[in-house]
Amino acid sequence: MDLGFIGLGAMGRPMARHLLRAGHRLCVWARRPATSEPLHADGATVCASAAEVARRSAVVFTVLTADSDVEQVVLAPAGLLEGFSSGSVLIDMGTVSSGLTRRLASRLAQNGVAMLDAPVSGGEQGAIDATLAIMVGGDAQVLERVRPLLACLGKTIVHIGDHGAGQVAKACNQMVMVGAIQAIAEALHLSRAAGVDPQRVRQALSGGSAASRVLDTLGLRMVDRHFTAGVEARLHHKDFRIINDEAHRLGVPLPVSAPVTQQLNALIANGWGQCDTSTLLRVLELSAGEGQ
């Protein structure tokens, strides 16, 4: 198929490569031209604008950071909407608000363009390995049309519901995952304060009912004090802003996630936004007056 891809960062670049390797023709565009060079070397066509990507593609993927980024790429002059023809499909695989997704889907539908929100879980390694979990909102028939494309990118594809439902599922995913990171940080900080080896505690927890992928990966980072980013903490901070906005809109209490938000705020305030989210351990240490 003729496909387009915008958002060639740590997640998007390997995802775009999987589509190329599957034999599809790929057009790309990036706000920073250097970002598209590796994909050009792999055989992708570099376009001069998002509109050109849309004109040359039946399906366009976006993997962008924030609501404002997606809105700009879709609706701004020379944006995707300017280039889409009726029958095209936009698949937004970044993590943004469900409200924005619903607004964009409605606007695109006026031009005969379908949209799916399809945020992912699995991180950069999942993108590299094509093992992402993909949570899809939008029309089920549109999903079936593009399911073979999504199958190039992930191993679990679940249709959650109508437009925005995929983003709600991703918000729930982040609540559980980052809440677990905070809990692990507190557990390992407590063990150290009690004079007990955190590495042995993590090993014991991994063999019991507290075992999880988060404990295996993020817990190990904390024990090894390896805070170089797997996923930059600023992205989880952004996700929790979306979560809190949605909860405020719905009047839903967040007795666990709200305090986690404050810990993420402290992490950002200390200049650690580009570090891994396991740096939540350092926030606890700093609060306890411990050396860094």
Which residue in this structure is represented by tokens 């089920």?
140
User: CA-CA distance, 27 to 57, in Å (whole number)?
Assistant: 7
Strands 2-6 and 114-117: unpaired
User: CA-CA distance, 166 to 159, in Å (whole number)?
Assistant: 8
Q: How far is CA 16 from CA 147, 258, 261, 280, in A?
A: 15, 35, 32, 32
Q: Left (φ > 0), alpha (ψ -120 to 50) or beta: where does 200 sit?
A: alpha
Give the tokens for residue 290: 């411990």
Residues 6 or more apart from 118 whose CB is under 8 A from it?
A: 91, 92, 93, 134, 135, 136, 137, 138, 150, 166
Active site residue 155: no
Selected catalytic residue, list 102, 159, 163, 170 = 170
Residues 6 or more apart from 137 whose CB is under 8 A from it?
A: 98, 101, 116, 117, 118, 160, 161, 162, 163, 164, 165, 166, 167, 168, 169
Which residue in this structure is represented by tokens 């063999």?
207
Burial class of 217 by CB neighbour count within 10 A (0 to 12, 13 to 18, 19+)? middle
One-letter amino acid of 77: P
CA atoms within 13 A on the CB side of 276: 20
Catalytic residues: 170
